[in-house]
Structure 1
Amino acid sequence: MIDVSIAAAGFCLLILMMALGFHVAVAMFAISIAGAVGYLGVPAALEYGTQLWGAGNNFVLTAIPLFVLLGEILVRGGFTDKMYRSLADWLYWLPGGLLHTNIVASGMLAAVSGSSVATAATIGTIAIPALEHRKYDQRMVLGSIAAGATLGILIPPSINLILYGAMTGNSVGKLYLAGIIPGILLALLFMGVIVVWGLRSPGMGSEAETVDPLGVRLRRLKDLLPPVVIFTLVMGSIYLGWATPTESAALAVVGAFALTALAGRLSFKMLHECFERTILITAMILLITSAAFYLTFVLGLMGVPEIMADFVTRLNASPSSLILALTIFYLILGCFFDALAMIVGTIPIVYPMTMAVGIDPIWFGIFLVLMAELALITPPMGMNLYVVQGVRKEGSISTVIVGTLPFLVVMLLFIVLVFAFPLLVTWLPEVAF
C-alpha cells in the first residue's frame, strides 16, 4: 500500500496536467498508466482494454447516448420555441417580466435533455433575439440564461448523476429523486433574484407586451405537453417499476420520435443531424468515463481509497469540516475545469473520504453536482458563459459574467442551505424507496 503523500502528489499532478490544457481523458489515462507501471507492473497497465470494454458495456452508462439523443430530437424538432412562447404567455406580468421565462424554460428543457450546455445554447438562441428590442437589462438577460441552464445537470434526467451513480455504485433512481426538490428550489431562488432585480429597476422590460386573448393563450398550453410527456415517461416508468433508468431513456426517445412525427418535423435530414451530434457527444463522454474507470481500477489496486479513508479518520475530521474543505476545493477547481472533468476526475479520491466520515452518498452526489453547476458559470472557464456569449455574437463576455454574479451568490447560499437541511435532498428518495 502506498503512502498518502504519493497519492496526493499523483492527484496534484492530474490537476496540473488538466490545468495545462491536456484533455481530461489523456490526463487521467497518463496518471493511471504511470501508477500501474510504477507500482503494480505491466500486467496492470494492460488491463485498460478490459476496463474500456467494461465501461462501454455498463448498462447504466447506456442511458447516456439515449438521453443525448432525446435532447437533440426535442431541440431540432422545434418544441423549445413553442414551449418558450407558451411560458411567456403566463410569466410576463411578474417583476422582471420575460426573464422568468428563461429560468422556467431552462428547467423544463433540462428535465428532458440533461445537458446544461445544450440548454444554454437553445434558450439563448430563442431568448436573446426575443428580448433585445425590449428595455431589459442586458446583463440580467444573459445572466439568467447562463444560470438557468445550470439546472440541466441537476434536474433529472441528468447525465452527470448517471456518471456519479455508475462510478460509485449508487442508485441512479435515488439520485434522480434526490435532484428534484433541490432543482425546483434553485429555480425558484433564481426567479427570486429576477424579482428583486425587477423591483429595483421598474423600467426594465417596459416595452409594451402584446398580450394575446385568454383563449389563444389557453390553446398554446398544448405546447408545454411534449416536455411534460417526456418527463412523465422517464420518471413515471422508473418509479412505477416498469423500467430501469436506461430503459426509461429508450422509452423517452421513442416518445420523442412519435411527438416529432405528429408535429410533422421528422425527416431523414433531421435524424442524420441528431444521430451525428449524439455520436460526437457520446464519444467524448465515454472516452472520459473509460479513463475514469481505469483510474479508479488502478487506485483500487494500489489501495488509495483505503489510505485516504484512513487518513481522514486519523485526522478526526467531522463531516461539516470535510464538506467545508471540499466546497473551497471545488470552488477553486471550478475556476479552471468544466463540470464533467471535476466530477469524474475527483470521485476516485474524494468519494472514499466522504464515506469514511459517514456522509450520505446520495446527498454527496447532489452536493457534487451543485458544485459542478457553479463551475459552469464561474469565470474564467465557466462553459455556460462562453456558450451564451457565442450565441450573443457581440460585446464582451464580461457582461455575461457580471450578469451571473447574483445567481452565483444564490447558488452558494443554497449549498449552505442544503448542508444545513440535508432532508431537502434525502427525504424524497427515502420515502420512495
Structure 2
Amino acid sequence: MISTTTLLLAVLILLSLPVAAVLIFTGLALSDLYAFFPLIDALGEVTWSASTEFVLVAIPLFIMMGEILLRSGITDEMYESVNLWVGRVPGGLMHTNIFSCALFAATSGSSVATTATMGTVTIPNIKKFGYKPSLFLGTIAAGGTLGILIPPSINMILYGILAEASVSTLYLAALIPGLILGFLFSVVVLIACLVRPTWSGEPVPKSTLMAKVWGLKGIFIPVALFGLVVGSIYAGLATPTEAAALGVIGALGISFYKKRMSPKCLSEVFQATIRTTSLVMLIVLSAYFLNFVITNIGLTDILTEKVSSLRWDPVYVLLAIVGVYILLGCFMETLSLMIATTPIVVPIITALGFDPIWFGVLFMILLETALITPPIGMNLFIVQSVRGEGSFKDVIYGAVPFLLMMFFLIGLLIAFPDIALWLPSLITK
C-alpha cells in the first residue's frame, strides 16, 4: 500500500500534471484499490467541510494585504528606509535585501510574493552599484524564503489545519527561529564581503543621523501592520482570521490616506488575490480529499507501526525524515509537498514523542530549503525570471551558502528545541 502510494505520486508529479489533479487522482486510485466502499461518494462532503474552515479565510486576506503594500508603493519606501540603516555594513544592499524580505514577509505571509517583490525592487542595483551577481541574487532567493517562517505565514496556517495544531502558537514558536535565520543570512554576506571586498559593490552614500531617523517612517507601516496582526492575536482580541482582516483594513486605510490606491490599483489587487487564492485553495481541497482517503484506508496507522517496529532511536528516525524532506524538496513544490505529507508524517512525529508545534517550525525550514534547491526551487526561478538575463547558475551558486545556514539552524533546533518552544511556554504559563 505504501509503495503503491509513493510510486503513484512520483509518477504523476514527474508527468508534470497540475498538483491538484495529482492529489485527486491519487485519492481516487487508492480508494478503488484499498477501500471497502468507494470513498468518492464522500468527495462533496469532504470538500465542503474543508472549504468552510474559518481559519482558511485568513489565506486570501494575507495575500491581499501583501498585494496592497506592493501595488501602493509602500514596499519601495520600506526598502529605502532599511537601506539607510544597514547599507553601510560590508555587503551594502545585500543586507538591505535580507532585512527587507523579513519585513515584507511579516506582512505578506508568502515566500513567492516576498521574492518577486524584492527582486523587482532591487535587482537593477546589481549593475548600478557593481555587486557580485551570484551572491546578490542569493540574498533575494534566500531572503524570500522567510515568508514561510516569519509570521503571519500562510503555510503555517495550512500546517496548523492539517496537523490540528494551534496557528497562534505556531506563529509564536516561529518568531525567534525566523529572526535567527535572517541574522545568519546577514552573517554569510558579511563574512563573504570581508573576505572578498570587491563583492560589496560601490559604497552606499553616507546618511546623516537625522536622515536615518526620518527614514524610519518607511519601516513604520510594515512594523505597525505586523503589530496589528500578530499583536491582536496574542492580546486575545482576534483570531488569526480576524487579525488578517484587521491587516487588510489597516493596509487599505494607509494606502488611501497616502493617496496611493486608485480604482485601477484596487482592481489589480483584487485580481491578483483571486488568482493566487484560487490556485492555493484548489490544491488544499484536493489534499483534504487525499488525506481523507489515506486515513480511511489505514495508511497512516501502517506507517506509524512500521516506524515503531524499526526500534530506532527517535532522533535517528527524525534525521531520516529530515533527509527525505531535503531530497523531496529538490523535486516537489513546497505547497504540494507540505499538504501531501503532513497528515502522514505528523502522527509519526507525535508517536515518537516530539512536539508537533516544534516540528511545525522545523518543517517550515525544510520547506524553505525546497524553495532554493534545484531543479524545482521555486524562488530560484522567480529570481531568474525577474532578472531576465544572465545564467541561471548564478542564482543557484548564490543560494548555496544560505542553504547551508538553513541546515545549521535545523541542527540547532534539533539540539535545542527550546529555541522554538520557549516563547509559547511563556504564554501558556
The TM-score range, normalised by the shorter chain, is over 0.9
**How many pairs are equivalent?**
428
Q: 1:308 aligns with which of 266, 291, 303?
A: 303
- In structure 2, the partner of 1:366 is 361
* Whole-Å separation in 1 of the counterparts to 2:22 and 2:312: 30
How is 1:325-364 mapped onto 2 (pairs within 5 angstroms)? 325-364=320-359
Q: Which amino acid aligns with 1:205?
A: S
Q: Which amino acid aligns with 1:137?
A: K
- In structure 2, the partner of 1:262 is 257
Alignment gaps of 5+ in structure 1 = 1-5
* Whole-Å separation in 2 of the counterparts to 1:143 and 1:275: 31
* Whole-Å separation in 2 of the counterparts to 1:153 and 1:61: 16
Shift in Å at residue 43 of structure 1? Answer: 4.5
Asked if the contact 1:233/1:252 (under 8 Å) is kept, the reply is yes
Asked if the contact 1:237/1:248 (under 8 Å) is kept, the reply is yes
- In structure 1, the partner of 2:414 is 419
**Cα deviation 1:377-417 (Å, max 9, x = unaligned):** 00111000010011111011101101111111111111111
* Whole-Å separation in 2 of the counterparts to 1:191 and 1:208: 17
**Cα deviation 1:292-350 (Å, max 9, x = unaligned):** 11111111111222222122222223221111111111111111111111100111221
* Whole-Å separation in 2 of the counterparts to 1:415 and 1:215: 40
- In structure 1, the partner of 2:248 is 253
How is 1:354-433 mapped onto 2 (pairs within 5 angstroms)? 354-433=349-428
- In structure 2, the partner of 1:18 is 13
- In structure 2, the partner of 1:183 is 178
- In structure 1, the partner of 2:139 is 144
* Whole-Å separation in 2 of the counterparts to 1:160 and 1:125: 23
Q: Which amino acid aligns with 2:253?
A: A
- In structure 2, the partner of 1:213 is 208
1:70 equivalent in alignment to 2:65: yes
Asked if the contact 2:126/2:132 (under 8 Å) is kept, the reply is no
Asked if the contact 2:91/2:201 (under 8 Å) is kept, the reply is no
* Whole-Å separation in 2 of the counterparts to 1:275 and 1:93: 38
- In structure 2, the partner of 1:296 is 291
**Cα deviation 1:49-73 (Å, max 9, x = unaligned):** 1111112111111110111111101
Instruction: Assess, with a 3 A threshold, how the Cα gap between structure 1 residues 317 and 208 changes in structure 2: closer, same or farther.
Output: closer
Asked if the contact 1:317/1:357 (under 8 Å) is kept, the reply is no
* Whole-Å separation in 1 of the counterparts to 2:127 and 2:318: 41
Where does structure 1 differ by over 6 angstroms across 4 or more consecutive aligned residues? none
- In structure 2, the partner of 1:174 is 169
- In structure 2, the partner of 1:56 is 51
Q: Which amino acid aligns with 1:23?
A: P
Shift in Å at residue 41 of structure 1? Answer: 5.2
Shift in Å at residue 217 of structure 1? Answer: 2.5
Matched residue SS, 2:44: helix
Q: Which amino acid aligns with 2:223?
A: V
* Whole-Å separation in 1 of the counterparts to 2:415 and 2:74: 39
**Cα deviation 1:4-38 (Å, max 9, x = unaligned):** xx133213321331122122111111111112233
Matched residue SS, 2:54: coil
1:130 equivalent in alignment to 2:157: no
* Whole-Å separation in 2 of the counterparts to 1:317 and 1:67: 41
* Whole-Å separation in 1 of the counterparts to 2:147 and 2:181: 12
1:279 equivalent in alignment to 2:253: no
Matched residue SS, 1:395: coil
* Whole-Å separation in 1 of the counterparts to 2:204 and 2:327: 42
How is 1:238-249 mapped onto 2 (pairs within 5 angstroms)? 238-249=233-244
Over the aligned positions, Cα root-mean-square deviation in angstroms equals 1.3
- In structure 1, the partner of 2:97 is 102
* Whole-Å separation in 2 of the counterparts to 1:105 and 1:360: 31
Asked if the contact 2:106/2:226 (under 8 Å) is kept, the reply is yes
Shift in Å at residue 111 of structure 1? Answer: 0.6
* Whole-Å separation in 1 of the counterparts to 2:309 and 2:201: 61
* Whole-Å separation in 2 of the counterparts to 1:331 and 1:208: 37
**Cα deviation 1:222-245 (Å, max 9, x = unaligned):** 111110111001111000000000
- In structure 2, the partner of 1:204 is 199
* Whole-Å separation in 1 of the counterparts to 2:378 and 2:104: 18
- In structure 2, the partner of 1:38 is 33
Asked if the contact 1:312/1:357 (under 8 Å) is kept, the reply is no
Asked if the contact 2:156/2:167 (under 8 Å) is kept, the reply is yes
Q: 2:83 aligns with which of 88, 91, 95?
A: 88
- In structure 2, the partner of 1:29 is 24
* Whole-Å separation in 2 of the counterparts to 1:282 and 1:42: 33
Instruction: Assess, with a 3 A threshold, how the Cα gap between structure 1 residues 314 and 205 changes in structure 2: closer, same or farther.
Output: closer
- In structure 2, the partner of 1:3 is none
Output the TM-score relative to the length of structure 1. 0.96
Matched residue SS, 2:199: coil
Output the TM-score relative to the length of structure 2. 0.97
Matched residue SS, 1:414: helix
Shift in Å at residue 206 of structure 1? Answer: 4.7
Asked if the contact 1:139/1:399 (under 8 Å) is kept, the reply is yes
- In structure 1, the partner of 2:110 is 115
In percent, how many aligned pairs have the same letter? 44
Instruction: Assess, with a 3 A threshold, how the Cα gap between structure 1 residues 13 and 344 changes in structure 2: closer, same or farther.
Output: same
Asked if the contact 2:333/2:377 (under 8 Å) is kept, the reply is yes
Asked if the contact 2:47/2:289 (under 8 Å) is kept, the reply is yes
Asked if the contact 2:92/2:201 (under 8 Å) is kept, the reply is no
Asked if the contact 1:106/1:148 (under 8 Å) is kept, the reply is yes
